[in-house]
Chain A
Amino acid sequence: MSVIVEPAVRSGSLDVDRLRRDFPILGTEVHGKPLVYLDNAATSQKPAVVLEALARFYSTENANIHRGVHHLSERATEEFELARLRVARFLGARSPDEIVFTRGTTDAINLVAHSIGRFQFKPGDEIILSGMEHHSNIVPWQEITSQTGARLRVIPVTDAGELDLDAFGRLLSARTRMVAVTHVSNAIGTVNPLERIIAMAHEAGALVLVDGAQSAPHLPLDVATLGCDFFACSGHKMMGPTGIGVLFGRSELLDSMPPYQTGGGMIAQVSFEKTTFAPSPGRFEAGTPPIAGAIGLGAALEYLDAVGLEAIERHEGALLAYATTRLAEVSGLRQIGAGAPQRASVISFVMDGIHPHDVGTILDQEGIAIRAGHHCAQPLMARFGVPGTIRASFSFYNTFAEVDALVAGLEKVREVFV
């Protein structure tokens, strides 16, 4: 299989108009208006190469993997393992054995929480989370605390939307077993200083799990250099299909962890007396995995690599800066937690006297897709004293004209409510 993607780079910047043509949905209309898709933090759109990879797999290679000796099964297995290799390279893992395919970030975090937390944590042990976590990096740990007697500690968030690292330092102790923290906030876009967080956590003897759902599609990554113990991300936010996600785990850790789910495909040998498990990553992939999803994700990562993560980061940074300036011109609009020095292309805001959902409905009529609500980050919303926000999140295929469309849409919102 080979996907040919010519890098659409022009004098150091992205040829966004050309890239947009790779995404069939971006040429469609919503309510008679051209789609302006600014809900990329929820899920990204899919380039044709990914859709074609899925169709090709189902049309010409479909079979179960690691099972048959027949031609198609061997082909499918090869493609599936090639996708694992692509993920490993994309994330900077040392080996594909460090890559576990999951259903998504939530599934990956649950895997670690159950496999390590449930069986190893004791009363008095502590898990440190941050105040800007998505519910998917809160609730699994909360469940573990109720099962083990361990307890949660929370790194506070400053008014600027940064983690208070001094407070983090004070929370760390010999009792800290796990630090589970997001790389990029899905709600306010803060990029957290992972190197420092990881160094501090390791010094205290704790493991670090990074929720990379929001960073993986937007920043160049190298988990080996970062030094995190686990890194979780979702295929569908990185131009890939839904139902496929990734857990990176350091080999030494994965090899020592008990399985999270059991069944076919994850065993070495089964008798009614005793079952032995396959080595990692296989032992964490019970049942038939999302084979097509993994292959689609492989195609997506190849596409992202061809576009170039550095170029993506640059373009999205420019969009964020432009949107920040333009939104500041809208009267009665207040950006939330937007003061961190390093931010990804996510902007959260509220409008005086106008509820986010009303904003969402009116923008939708203009063909503009944004997210309104608590963004599965209710503790962070409570921290900023708002029930929810309006969130615009950009991808590399978004344009400056789309930022203008958003601002014009917000003026319409004000007209309705004045």
Chain B
Amino acid sequence: MADLSQLYQSVILDHNQSPRNCRRMADADQSAEGYNPLCGDQLTVWVRMDGDQIQDISFEGSGCAISKASASMMTQAVKGKNMADVLGLFESFHAMVTGRTADSPTPLGKLAVFSGVSEFPSRVKCASLSWHTLKRALESLPNEAARSNKGTQE
């Protein structure tokens, strides 16, 4: 039987209660909106870049404890990281919440508190919504978009 206390760990409840980096960002380089039509959860993620590095990140939105805590802890985990590291984290996090093993696992550190989510299939999307949204924001950064356009031209 899936264990509730594995899902609602105190770290998660704390981030739900007082989410970190939960604010709009006026001087962001890019933002993206995430939406889960199943439950109506929605959030916006803003990023400000310093070259290849996430200099600042924030989010706002409405969602359940899992999605709020996941967004909050994601912002802490990726701040200061470069693109490749963030994508590595994304892959490993996604693998963990869907109960898979990543091909080349990145250590998840504190994010490991979300491992209980894999026991609750209907909640996987709650945990991964902010990550998918961040990924989309990064992929649509002006220089990223230019790079991938150039890629297709070549």
Chain A residues close to B by CB (< 8 Å): 31-32, 354-358, 361-362, 365, 372-374, 378, 381, 387-388, 416-417
Which of B8, B64, B66 has a CB less than 8 Å from the CB of A416?
A: B8
Query: Does B39 contact A373, Cβ atoms closer than 8 Å?
Result: yes
Query: Does B39 contact A361, Cβ atoms closer than 8 Å?
Result: no
Query: Does A387 contact B41, Cβ atoms closer than 8 Å?
Result: yes
Give the CA-CA distance A89 to B80 in the complex, in Å. Answer: 70
Give the CA-CA distance A234 to B64 in the complex, in Å. Answer: 31
Query: Does B4 contact A416, Cβ atoms closer than 8 Å?
Result: yes
Complex interface: chain B residues within 8 A of A32 (CB): 1
Query: Does B64 contact A355, Cβ atoms closer than 8 Å?
Result: yes
Complex interface: chain B residues within 8 A of A355 (CB): 63-65, 68
Given contacts A357-B123, A358-B8, A374-B39, 15 further A-B contacts (CB under 8 A): A355-B63, A355-B64, A356-B39, A361-B7, A361-B120, A361-B122, A362-B4, A365-B1, A365-B4, A373-B40, A378-B40, A387-B41, A388-B39, A388-B40, A416-B13
Which of A356, A365, A381 has a CB less than 8 Å from the CB of B2?
A: A365
A-B pairs, 4 with minimum CB distance: A355-B64, A357-B64, A374-B40, A387-B40
Which of B40, B65, B68 has a CB less than 8 Å from the CB of A381?
A: B40
Asked whether B101 is an interface residue with its Cβ less than 8 Å from the other chain, the reply is no
Nearest opposing residue in chain A for B61, CB measure? A387
Q: How many residues of B contact A (CB 8 A)?
A: 20
Asked whether B38 is an interface residue with its Cβ less than 8 Å from the other chain, the reply is yes
The main secondary structure of chain B at its interface with chain A is: mixed
Give the CA-CA distance A417 to B64 in the complex, in Å. Answer: 12
Pick 19 A–B contacts, CB within 8 A, sort by A: A31-B2, A354-B65, A357-B66, A357-B123, A357-B126, A358-B65, A358-B66, A361-B4, A361-B7, A361-B120, A362-B8, A365-B1, A374-B39, A374-B40, A381-B40, A387-B62, A388-B40, A417-B8, A417-B13
Most chain B beta-carbon contacts within 10 A, residue among A361, A362, A374: A361
Give the CA-CA distance A365 to B7 in the complex, in Å. Answer: 12
Report the tally of A-B residue pairs with Cβ distances under 8 A: 49
Complex interface: chain A residues within 8 A of B120 (CB): 361
CB contacts under 8 Å to A, within B68-120, are: 68, 120
Nearest opposing residue in chain B for A382, CB measure? B40
Complex interface: chain A residues within 8 A of B41 (CB): 357, 387
Complex interface: chain A residues within 8 A of B7 (CB): 361
Complex interface: chain B residues within 8 A of A374 (CB): 39-40
Closest beta carbon of chain B to A366's beta carbon, Å:
10
Closest beta carbon of chain B to A348's beta carbon, Å:
14
Complex interface: chain A residues within 8 A of B126 (CB): 357
Give the CA-CA distance A129 to B32 in the complex, in Å. Answer: 34
Give the CA-CA distance A362 to B2 in the complex, in Å. Answer: 11
Complex interface: chain B residues within 8 A of A357 (CB): 39, 41, 64, 66, 123, 126
Closest beta carbon of chain A to B39's beta carbon, Å:
5
Give the CA-CA distance A354 to B62 in the complex, in Å. Answer: 11
Give the CA-CA distance A355 to B36 in the complex, in Å. Answer: 14
Most chain B beta-carbon contacts within 10 A, residue among A32, A387, A417: A387
Most chain A beta-carbon contacts within 10 A, residue among B4, B8, B63, B126: B4
Give the CA-CA distance A388 to B62 in the complex, in Å. Answer: 10
Give the CA-CA distance A358 to B64 in the complex, in Å. Answer: 6
Complex interface: chain B residues within 8 A of A373 (CB): 38-40
Closest beta carbon of chain B to A379's beta carbon, Å:
12
Most chain A beta-carbon contacts within 10 A, residue among B7, B40, B63, B122: B40
Query: Does B1 contact A372, Cβ atoms closer than 8 Å?
Result: no
Give the CA-CA distance A357 to B65 in the complex, in Å. Answer: 8
